[in-house]
Amino acid sequence: MGEESSVSNFREYIRIKTVQPSPDYASCTAFLKKQADDLGAEVLVYECVPGKPIVIMTLRGEDPSLPSILLNSHTDVVPVYPEHWKFDPFSAHKDEDGKIYGRGTQDMKCVGIQYIEALKQLRQQGHKFLRTIHLSFLPDEEIGGMDGMEKFVRTETFKKLNVGFALDEGYANPTEKYTVFYGERSPWWVEVICPGQPGHGSQFLPDNAGQKLRRVINFFMDFRDKEEKRLKDNPQLNIGDVTTCNLTMLKGGVQYNVVPSVLSVGFDIRIPPTCNLKEFEDMISQWCKEAGEGVEYKFHEKAMVQNTTCVTDGKNIWWDTFRASCQKEDLSLEKKIFAAGTDACYLRELGIPALGFSPMNHTPILLHDHNEYLEEKTFLRGIQIYCTIIKDIANLRC
C-alpha cells in the first residue's frame, strides 16, 4: 500500500535542513510556496531581516471584515548530534513500526503540515469559512524569534492580517491526554561578572574573582534547589508553574598558575507568569551585592511578557470553541503554562488570544532530543483533529 500524500509532504519537509545556525530558508520557502499552490491559497513572502523569510498563506473568508485566524508555526530546527541518532536526522526515515525519525518531527514541522493538510481536506469536502485564515511560517524561533515574530508583529503587514485568535505549537504528551498551553514562562539569560584581585596561583589573594564566583553560583543554585523541591512536593504544580535556573556558561582564566582578574557565569532562568519580575531582578541584584565588591550582572535575554490567554470556561469564546472542538474529537485536555518559549508570546503581548497545541498523545516528549520521532498514525490523527478545530474556529460568529 502506498504512503499517504500528507505523510510524504511531511517527510519532504523534514529533509529540508533548516537547522540553526545556518537554516536553508531558500529551499524551505520554495517548498512552502508549492504547498500554497496545492492548497489554492494566496502566498506572501515577507522579510523583516534579509535572508529570513516569513511565508504567509491566506484563504479569504466569506466575511473578511471579521478578525482572522492565524495558524502559526516555525520553520527552523535546533542542531543535532548525528552520532547519537539511529538514522540520519534529516532523512525522515520511517521504520517498520511507522515511526518517522527526523529533526523537527515534533518541533514543529508536523504542525505546519497538519494545518495545510487539514485545510486541503476541508476544502475538498466543500467547506467554506466565515473568517479569513492565515498560515504563518516564521524563521528563527529556535533562537528567540527576534528576527522573526518579534519584528513581524510590529509591521503594517502583520497589522493588516487583522488577527483575532492564533494557534501555535505545544508539545507531546506521553499519556492519553493532550496538552494545551495558555501562556509561557519568561526566559532570562543572565551573565554575572565577578572582578577580583589577580596574581600568582600560589597565594591566598584576598577579594579574588573565584571567591565571588563561588558565592554567586551558590545563591543561584540554592534558589534552584528550592524551586525544584517546591515542584516535587506539590503534585498540583507543573514545571511551567515554577522557576527553573540552570548554570549554562562559564568564562575566564588565562592559565593554571594565574589567578584571573575577572570570571563570569551565565544562567538560563525561566520565570512563570505568577512571579513578580521586578522583585525577581531585585533578588538577583542583592545576590550580586552580597557576593562581593564590583560584582555586576547583565542580560543577554530578558523577556518581560507575562500575558496569558483566558482558559476559564464561559469567559473566552475562543477557548470555549476550541474546547468544544476537542470534545467532539473525544480529546482529554491538560491546561498548562509552557515551560520554554514560543512565538505565541509576541502575539499575547499584543492582547491576541493564543493557544499552544500540538496534537500528539501517547508520544514521548522528544523536542530538541536525539532520535526525535513522530508516529505516522499520530501525525494522521492530528490532521483530523485540526480539521474539526479549524472548521469551528474559522466559522465562529462573535
At 204, which CATH number? Answer: 3.30.70.360
380 burial type by CB count under 10 A (0-12 exposed, 13-18 middle, 19+ buried) = middle
- Express as a percent the part of the chain with pLDDT over 90: 98
Based on the structure, what is the number of domains in the chain? Answer: 2
Instruction: Assess whether 151 and 37 both reside in one domain.
Output: yes
> pLDDT > 70: what percent of the chain?
100
Does the structure show a pLDDT above 80 at 1?
no
Same domain, 223 and 137: no
Please confirm, yes or no, whether 141 is among the known catalytic residues.
yes
Mean pLDDT calculated for residue range 106-112: 98
Residues 81, 165 share a domain: yes
Alpha carbons 288 and 272: distance in angstroms, whole number:
22
Check residue 86 and give its pLDDT. 97
Quick one: pLDDT at residue 146? 93
pLDDT higher than threshold 90 for residue 87: yes
> Over the chain, what is the mean pLDDT?
97
Tens of pLDDT, residue by residue over 170-188, are 999 999 999 999 999 999 9
Give pTM, 2 decimals.
0.92
- Alpha carbons 196 and 205: distance in angstroms, whole number: 9
My answer on whether 147 and 216 are in the same domain is: no
Average pLDDT (225-254) is: 97
Based on the fold, state whether residues 195 and 316 are members of the same structural domain: no
Same domain, 225 and 164: no
Asked whether residue 32 falls in the same domain as residue 121, the answer is yes
| Whether residue 2 has pLDDT greater than 90 | no
Q: Is the pLDDT of residue 126 over 80?
A: yes
**Average pLDDT score over residue span 8-34:** 98
Signed CA dihedral, 34, 35, 37, 41: sign only: negative
Instruction: Find the mean pLDDT for residues 205-213.
Output: 96
Which of these, 301, 349, 322, 369, lies nearest to 80 by C-alpha position?
369
Known catalytic membership, residue 96: no
Are 206 and 250 in a shared domain?
yes
CA distance 202 to 381: 66
Please calculate the CA angle 213-217-218 and round it to the nearest 5 degrees: 115
Confidence of residue 137 (pLDDT cuts 50, 70, 90): very high
- Verify that 73 and 162 share a domain, yes or no: yes
Name the active-site residue from 107, 117, 140, 141.
141
Q: Is the pLDDT of residue 123 over 70?
A: yes
Contact 217, 247 (CB under 8 A): yes
Cα–Cα distance between 89 and 76 in angstroms, integer? 14
Tell me the CATH number at 351.
Answer: 3.40.630.10
* 177 and 42 in a common domain: yes
Range of the domain at 228: 186-272+274-302
pLDDT of residue 398: 79
Coil, strand or helix: which one is 45? strand
Residues 38 and 63 in one domain: yes
Catalytic residue among 76, 168, 184, 343: 76
In this structure, the answer to whether residues 82 and 220 fall within a common structural domain is: no
Provide mean pLDDT across the span 347-356: 98
Q: pLDDT, tens digit, for every residue of 302-312? A: 999 899 999 99
Give the mean pLDDT of 273-288: 97
- The three-point CA angle 101-102-104 to 5° equals 130
